[in-house]
Amino acid sequence: MYHSEEVIRQLQSQKVLAMKLDRAVRAVGEEVKQHVSNIGAGAQRLLNYTSCLTDEYYDVCTKQHLEDSRFRKGIVHLVTRRNIVSEMISAYVEEMVKDFSPDQLAEIQRILMHVNVYISTSSLTSYAFATGVAAAISLHITLPLSGLKAAAGLTSAVAGSLGVYGIVQHAAESARRLQIQHPAYYQMLYFREIEMMYFLVEPIFMRAGVLSQQWTDSHNVPGVADKIIRLMGKQ
């Protein structure tokens, strides 16, 4: 009997080790893929700069110069303000509820309470409500660690590095997508000088599928509540 229990314990231990090893291997693989992707994107971005002397690439170079400048500003905000992710989420919610009355905001709160989401806010203004929602969402979401590490690493890295410069390229592509998908939200982030940091939260918005709904009739109390619930990953 004792021998059987010992064998079972050993098998369980081996299974746990195998699972940990499998996760570690997958994580390393993802890191390598991301690094290769960053290098490729960085090389392409630098290649565009080498073509700046030709008229056909002048507009591309001018745009890249602006994106580089905006990215540096975003990094400064990321390092100095520390709550930039919550601020980006708050800006999105504020854009949705900017024309809502206190009664409508209270109704959204009641809908959220039905799915065990409680918004802490001192007043029912669009700004206070958005801040409270952002804080609640931040408790439920999982941020892409690779993006956070990449952005933080840029503050102490050489800007000419292909890998690091590839991050700038990915950030620029993410910001361009947002400008097309949700111009109003893009403008709010641009005004705050953090639109180039949107790539940090883009996977959350894409997974929730909320940006694609802006042209539908979802800009009402049930629709906004549904978007908030989706951002929290509860649907």
The tens-digit pLDDT sequence of the chain (235 residues) is 444 554 444 444 444 444 443 444 344 334 434 444 444 454 555 555 555 655 566 677 788 888 888 988 998 888 888 788 899 999 999 999 999 999 999 999 999 999 988 887 777 899 999 999 998 888 877 665 555 555 555 544 444 455 567 788 889 999 999 999 999 999 999 999 999 999 989 999 999 999 876 655 567 999 999 999 999 887 6
Phi-psi region of 227 (alpha: psi -120 to 50; beta: other; left: phi over 0): alpha
Cα(211)–Cα(203) distance, rounded to whole angstroms? Answer: 12
Residue 84 is part of which domain span?
2-231
Work out how many domains the chain is built from and give that number. Answer: 1
How far is Cα 41 from Cα 120, in angstroms, rounded to an integer?
A: 42
Distances (CA, A) of 213 to 66, 112, 138, 205, 221: 30, 19, 21, 11, 14
Q: Which distant-in-sequence residues (6+ apart) come within 8 Å of 99 by Cβ?
A: none
